[in-house]
Structure 1
Amino acid sequence: MSSRAGPSEPQGPVMQRRITRTQTAGNLGEAIFDSEVVPSSLVEIAPILRVANEVEKTHPRVAYLCRFYAFEKAHRLDPTSSGRGVRQFKTALLQRLERENDPTLQGRIKKSDAPQLTKAYQTANVLFEVLKAVNMTQSMEVDREILETQDKVAEKTEILVPYNILPLDPDSANQAIMRFPEIQTAVFALRNTRGLAWPKNYKKRKDEDILDWLGAMYGFQKHNVANQREHLILLLANVHIRQFPKPDQQPKLDDRALTEVMKKLFKNYKKWCKYLGRKSSLWLPTIQQEVQQRKLLYMGLYLLIWGEAANLRFLPECLCYIYHHMAFELYGMLAGNVSPMTGENIKPAYGGEEEAFLSKVVTPIYNVIAKEAERTKRGRSKHSQWRNYDDINEYFWSADCFRLGWPMRADADFFCLPVEQLYFDKLKGNKPDNRDRWVGKGNFVEIRSFWHIFRSFDRMWSFFILSLQAMIIVAWNGNGDLSAIFNGNVFKKALSVFITAAILKLGQGT
């Protein structure tokens, strides 16, 4: 199917008929792809068209994309269409693309073409592995060209990862959304990893950025890193595009946009530090060139913590506590501080392992929430005997929360069991390590009773009682007409509702 089958070198009467048919205006759009005959100058696109024909029945949209790519490649190979039969070939291919675009678009399963191609790449990679295994069992050597193709497909499989809004792989740089200057400047700023020491034995890939470094150092999940990368880029781009006057169109993030996003992200954290009388961990370097990178590191760390916190997002002050310590560790790593114990550079308390943040930070705190939920006995326990999200979060409203330490002490009062649970453990022969008592309720303890229905709707009950009293006074004086209230004696009696109101307030307070 190479140039030997091209229209410039006919072979035999059958091939001659095919060539004649491909140059006919009416049949050119169909037969040229059925026979896979292409002009000799465009022989490189023949394999692409063959694949399109093979997958058309099962994946028509993928076949359309293959032909579209073949058309673009043909235009790059011969932009002026000077080769023999090139103009007719490109015209026919373009007509077919126009005809197949809408039907294949409507039948597309996904909302984007990229996931379909990603799945095709992954499928091809698996088939290559099976091919190698089968040939090894049959003592056959795989063609070198096939192995080279497999390596290329494997590379593409790693690059073409799923995405939400921004395709950040190298092959998607020319997509429309990636051409916005605001997106480009944010991506460029995040990829400034100069001066960051990567972990040992870490396989650094192309175009890795600040969030990849944070994920490797603190043990965040890779999908969380991918999600928060898009999140941070879009936050910066949205603020950057609204700046006035407009910043210069150059690959540098505007400091005003960076400061504004940082101010919004850390608003609650700074309030928390001020409330507890602590200095924040947001320390910036004196070297101006490193300030932007440091700000991006602080924001990226906060978003990664938030993105992987799961149910801990209901504990905003707890997240502030976690971020306070992890940002302090970040400052120590960037400053090159040395541990007095080991003599090595400071490392995160929970970093270095895969998914360390989830297993060592989020899970222990969530276990406390789960144990408290079990104590509710499906709503049958008294409200004062178990802690809900607000009660647990109140623990981090006081400076006493710093007794929890970092890394968090397993015997801290935050992780302690209730007194009765400790008693049952002792009966079972267990010796708990918890020395402190159970924290229990932090501040307000709601005691629920039947009288709560009156306490919660006190204004409504008071209005009904006072209205009833006023109507009784009017009804029992005179003829019952409402105008009787303007009578002097009736009006004086009606003023007694204020005495009743005072008695009701006294009762409510009691």
Structure 2
Amino acid sequence: MRCPKIHATYHTLRDTRGLPWPKDHGKKEDADLLDWPHAMFGFQKNNVSNQREHLILLIGSIHIRQISKHEQHPKLDDHVLDTTMNKLFKNYKRWCKHLGRKTSLWLPAIQQEVQQRKLLYMGLYLLIWGEAANLWFMPECLCYLYHHMAFELYGVLAGNVSPSTGENVRPSYGGEEEAFLKKVVTPISKIVQMDEAERNGETKSKHMRRRNYDDLNAYFWSRGCFRLGWPMRVDADFFKKRSNMCELCSSSTPQVCVRVCFILATVRSWAQRSRRRWWWSGGGSPEFLWLSTFSDGSVSQLR
């Protein structure tokens, strides 16, 4: 901590004024900003220690490159924090733009609280990332988790009231030790573990029913991922095994399956008739566009 720029970041993290701590939480004298999401969202203690050092060095390194070496007592300014946030949230902002959603990076109107809020947003992101384990292979899934947890962070600090309970907003998965690991990371990881068991031969299933990290992450590429809700619905399609889904349309809802499969069957039948007409007509010209269907019902265009 002898470097003035590093010390400036460390000193700014110690500013915990105005944070609503849980009633049953014994606040430490040396508590900093990362201790607050630890108490509210239930992150692991060692993860908090690691990401505290990570955040200090990350901001400090950018601070060193941007501030003159001749300053004896440099202060942490907004430009340094903005540069760090742009690098840290690059993928998250791109994800929000792709889905047509606004980011959850809401800043307070009071200027004195802006730096504190920015540090909390960055700290929350690093805490999610540090405890995600194999969910690192699902970056858009992490964006989804952060999107909702950052919005909850904003609601708690703004003093929002829940319309259903009439009480102040609280995190959906907080309130106990290691809540994030047990209630968020573990249920998602179990989906991959079940499919890994099938892949290793412990249970038998068709290859198309198995899902890996890329398949699960693709769920968060469309706006339909928000049907998963927050807190996440355990009956959502995301948590269902492929064995409960239709092999043709991958739907687990009978009403949807009937409609989608009817459309796919109609297209397949039309494609087969078109191919037979093309065959009996002698092949046609090279510009003739025809459709080829496969045994799994998929359709491809060939020239």
Q: Normalising by the residue count of structure 1, what TM-score does the alignment of the two structures yield?
A: 0.47
Query: 1:121-148: CA deviations, max 9, x gaps?
Result: xxxxxxxxxxxxxxxxxxxxxxxxxxxx
Q: Map 1:285-434; keep pairs closer than 5 Å.
A: 285-378=108-201, 383-419=207-243
State the alpha-carbon separation in 2 of the partners of residues 299 and 420 from structure 1: 39
Shift of residue 212, structure 1, vs aligned partner: 0.4
Partner amino acid for 1:396? F
Shift of residue 436, structure 1, vs aligned partner: 4.1
Partner amino acid for 1:217? M
Query: 1:38-67: CA deviations, max 9, x gaps?
Result: xxxxxxxxxxxxxxxxxxxxxxxxxxxxxx
Secondary structure at the aligned position of 2:163 is classed as: coil
Shift of residue 245, structure 1, vs aligned partner: 4.1
Aligned CA-pair RMSD: 2.4
1:274 aligns with 2:97: yes
Q: Which runs of 5+ in 2 are unaligned?
A: 255-301
State the alpha-carbon separation in 2 of the partners of residues 359 and 436 from structure 1: 28
What residue in structure 2 maps to residue 284 of structure 1? 107
Kept in 1, the 8 Å contact 2:244–2:252? The answer is no
Partner amino acid for 1:298? Y
Shift of residue 187, structure 1, vs aligned partner: 0.7
Shift of residue 435, structure 1, vs aligned partner: 6.7
Shift of residue 342, structure 1, vs aligned partner: 2.2
Shift of residue 339, structure 1, vs aligned partner: 1.2
What residue in structure 1 maps to residue 38 of structure 2? 215
State the alpha-carbon separation in 2 of the partners of residues 192 and 324 from structure 1: 24
State the alpha-carbon separation in 1 of the partners of residues 74 and 177 from structure 2: 33
1:189 aligns with 2:32: no
State the alpha-carbon separation in 2 of the partners of residues 420 and 302 from structure 1: 34
State the alpha-carbon separation in 1 of the partners of residues 96 and 228 from structure 2: 16
What residue in structure 1 maps to residue 24 of structure 2? 201
Partner amino acid for 2:231? P
State the alpha-carbon separation in 1 of the partners of residues 16 and 253 from structure 2: 44
What residue in structure 2 maps to residue 231 of structure 1? 54
Q: Normalising by the residue count of structure 2, what TM-score does the alignment of the two structures yield?
A: 0.78
The farther-off stretch of 382-391 and 402-411 is 382-391
Q: Map 1:56-205; keep pairs closer than 5 Å.
A: 178-205=1-28
- Cα gap change, 1:204 to 1:245, in 2 (>3 Å): same
State the alpha-carbon separation in 2 of the partners of residues 436 and 311 from structure 1: 29
Shift of residue 359, structure 1, vs aligned partner: 0.2
- Cα gap change, 1:338 to 1:310, in 2 (>3 Å): same
State the alpha-carbon separation in 1 of the partners of residues 70 and 44 from structure 2: 35
Larger helix percent: 1
Secondary structure at the aligned position of 2:21 is classed as: coil
Kept in 2, the 8 Å contact 1:372–1:386? The answer is yes
State the alpha-carbon separation in 1 of the partners of residues 201 and 70 from structure 2: 57
Shift of residue 416, structure 1, vs aligned partner: 1.1
Secondary structure at the aligned position of 1:226 is classed as: helix
- Cα gap change, 1:242 to 1:378, in 2 (>3 Å): farther
State the alpha-carbon separation in 2 of the partners of residues 189 and 286 from structure 1: 19
Query: 1:448-486: CA deviations, max 9, x gaps?
Result: xxxxxxxxxxxxxxxxxxxxxxxxxxxxxxxxxxxxxxx
Shift of residue 376, structure 1, vs aligned partner: 1.8
Kept in 2, the 8 Å contact 1:181–1:249? The answer is yes
Report which of the two structures shows the higher radius of gyration computed on alpha carbons: 1
Kept in 1, the 8 Å contact 2:210–2:242? The answer is no
Shift of residue 244, structure 1, vs aligned partner: 4.3
Shift of residue 421, structure 1, vs aligned partner: 8.7
Kept in 1, the 8 Å contact 2:5–2:75? The answer is no
Secondary structure at the aligned position of 2:142 is classed as: helix
Q: Which runs of 5+ in 1 are unaligned?
A: 1-177, 423-433, 438-508
State the alpha-carbon separation in 1 of the partners of residues 116 and 2 from structure 2: 23
What residue in structure 2 maps to residue 240 of structure 1? 63
Shift of residue 253, structure 1, vs aligned partner: 1.1
Kept in 2, the 8 Å contact 1:312–1:318? The answer is yes
- Cα gap change, 1:233 to 1:247, in 2 (>3 Å): farther
Kept in 2, the 8 Å contact 1:376–1:382? The answer is no
Partner amino acid for 2:7? Q
Query: 1:340-390: CA deviations, max 9, x gaps?
Result: 222221100000111000000001100111112122245996542311111
| Greater RCO, CA 8 A, separation 6+ | 2
State the alpha-carbon separation in 2 of the partners of residues 341 and 381 from structure 1: 43
1:257 aligns with 2:80: yes
What residue in structure 2 maps to residue 478 of structure 1? none
Kept in 2, the 8 Å contact 1:228–1:303? The answer is yes
What residue in structure 2 maps to residue 10 of structure 1? none
Query: 1:86-143: CA deviations, max 9, x gaps?
Result: xxxxxxxxxxxxxxxxxxxxxxxxxxxxxxxxxxxxxxxxxxxxxxxxxxxxxxxxxx
Partner amino acid for 1:262? M
Partner amino acid for 2:3? F
Shift of residue 233, structure 1, vs aligned partner: 0.3
